[in-house]
Structure 1
Amino acid sequence: MRLPFTPVSACLPLAYQMTLNSIMIEKLLSISNNGGNNARERERERERERICAIHQFITFHARRV
């Protein structure tokens, strides 16, 4: 499975990077593993987009430090 986000910027502490990435991966996998109908699939897609947006926001601001 190819993850839809880039790795966290190297300017963050390594422990933080590892924690954030593992949370993101775990959340994406839990979303992917839930079966369901079209409404559930759309909800999962919105959740994926929200997770990626949060990750991009954190990464962007980490690079500005």
Structure 2
Amino acid sequence: MEKWEYTSIKFESKGFMGGVLDTSHFDNELNNFGEQGWELVSCFSTTQDGGKCREIVAVFKRRK
């Protein structure tokens, strides 16, 4: 049976109303994790009042 390990990272959104993501930094971090054997399996945003995006969470997995 295959075994997996998981990790997650958070990216804070910027801007007065939230929801602005530094995509260059985001892409660099995703690529860094990919180079270490991690596979992105989920990516979602968390919200605050009024549905504004507070942060982006990226979840990765790799074989143990």
Fold agreement, TM-score > 0.5: no
Which has the larger share of strand? 2
Taking CA–CA contacts closer than 8 Å with sequence separation of 6 or more, which of the two structures ends up with the larger relative contact order?
Answer: 1
Please tell me the TM-score bracket, short chain as reference. Answer: 0.3 to 0.5
Which has the larger share of helix? 1
User: TM (normalized to structure 2)?
Assistant: 0.37
